[in-house]
A = this chain, B = another copy of it.
């Protein structure tokens, strides 16, 4: 039973290295490296020869060694904390695809809500990610700032931080809040309510303030302001029950679509209200489900593709590097009127 190297057994055999391949062909290891480096100084002829032999012996450059040598990982850390809201998976999917498009991989840091962030942050740092994308409303601003102080490229998506040191990409929540208020007003509603997700998050504050301000400007009454405590279906349901219990509300703006979905179900099935005949409901984000007939939620659409494009652009051109002054990109969204809002009917 010979144990020669071409045994081809099932065990994990050590992959071939650039140096071995080089010796095999009779060139230098540098040549192999250059053959796999686009734009490197190498004759086209030699490159092809090397690539051909590489394919034969199944050589793949070791990305780890490359990272160490170049002090660059080609990996982007994506920090997320809530994958239950379909908006985030949708965003992550588009992001990771766009990043792969430009040769970057996505290392997922799925941070648990309660646990100590410090420990998780240290993981982000040990892996020398080229950039960090934070897609989370729940991370404390202080900790996030510390990363950038640490000197790492970073982009916050769907969240804006005041300090002016972090680059952000977000939808124009102000315009969104106003648009919903205008829409309610146009339909004839006069007593409206707002349901928050997480009260202290920037997205919530922006939508909330814009909505409330516009409501006042238009002479409508803010009949209530509720806080779900989280951006979830269950929270929307709870808030809706409070709204229903309070009574005398024409229209409700939920801080996002998942809340709205929970709210709509609670109104219809638990509070005995018809939507939109008895009460109008609007959400935010325009997740896929919002377009389904069972919900058909009037909402403010976030420009997902554009957000992704801008974010990847910032990472590519280095404009989110710590040296640069932070960019804040506000992308405009779009009011999508569906069937959860309708004209006011006096009762």
Residues of chain A having any CB pair with chain B under 8 Å: 9-13, 15, 58, 60-65, 67-68, 73, 75, 78, 83-84, 86, 88-90, 92-93, 96-97, 100, 105-110, 112, 120, 122-123, 125-128, 150-153, 165, 233, 261-262, 264-265, 268-269, 288-289, 292-295, 321-323
Given known pairs A89-B86, A269-B293, the reply for A64 and B152 (CB within 8 Å) is: no
By DSSP majority rule, is chain A's interface helix, strand, loop, or mixed? mixed
Q: State A189–B139 Cα separation when bound (angstroms).
A: 51
Contact of A105 among B96, B123, B293 (CB under 8 A): B123
Q: Is the CB–CB distance between A323 and B108 below 8 Å?
A: no
Q: Is the CB–CB distance between A92 and B96 below 8 Å?
A: no
For A78, what are the chain B residues with a Cβ–Cβ distance below 8 Å?
Answer: 108
What distance in Å separates the Cβ of A106 from its nearest Cβ neighbour in chain B?
Answer: 5
* Copy count, this protein chain: 2
Contact of A60 among B90, B126, B268, B323 (CB under 8 A): B126
- Return the chain B residue nearest A95 by Cβ: B110
- Return the chain B residue nearest A108 by Cβ: B106
Q: State A62–B69 Cα separation when bound (angstroms).
A: 12
What distance in Å separates the Cβ of A20 from its nearest Cβ neighbour in chain B?
Answer: 15
Contact of A63 among B84, B127, B262, B268 (CB under 8 A): B127
For A321, what are the chain B residues with a Cβ–Cβ distance below 8 Å?
Answer: 12
What distance in Å separates the Cβ of A164 from its nearest Cβ neighbour in chain B?
Answer: 12
Q: State A261–B123 Cα separation when bound (angstroms).
A: 39
Q: State A105–B77 Cα separation when bound (angstroms).
A: 11
Contact of A64 among B64, B150, B233, B293 (CB under 8 A): B64
For A126, what are the chain B residues with a Cβ–Cβ distance below 8 Å?
Answer: 60-63
Q: State A195–B301 Cα separation when bound (angstroms).
A: 32
For A10, what are the chain B residues with a Cβ–Cβ distance below 8 Å?
Answer: 151, 165, 322-323
Q: Which of A63, A64, A68, A110 has the most CB of B within 10 A?
A: A64
For A105, what are the chain B residues with a Cβ–Cβ distance below 8 Å?
Answer: 107-109, 123, 127
Q: Is the CB–CB distance between A83 and B93 below 8 Å?
A: yes
Q: State A127–B73 Cα separation when bound (angstroms).
A: 10
- Return the chain B residue nearest A291 by Cβ: B233
Q: Is the CB–CB distance between B293 and A294 below 8 Å?
A: no
Q: State A137–B105 Cα separation when bound (angstroms).
A: 22
- Return the chain B residue nearest A148 by Cβ: B10
Q: State A294–B63 Cα separation when bound (angstroms).
A: 48
Q: List 13 A-B contacts (CB under 8 A).
A: A62-B128, A63-B128, A64-B64, A64-B68, A65-B68, A83-B92, A96-B108, A96-B110, A97-B112, A106-B110, A265-B292, A268-B294, A289-B289
Q: Is the CB–CB distance between A90 and B97 below 8 Å?
A: no
Q: Is the CB–CB distance between A125 and B90 below 8 Å?
A: no
Q: Is the CB–CB distance between A127 and B64 below 8 Å?
A: yes
- Return the chain B residue nearest A269 by Cβ: B293
Given known pairs A83-B92, A123-B105, A288-B233, the reply for A13 and B151 (CB within 8 Å) is: yes
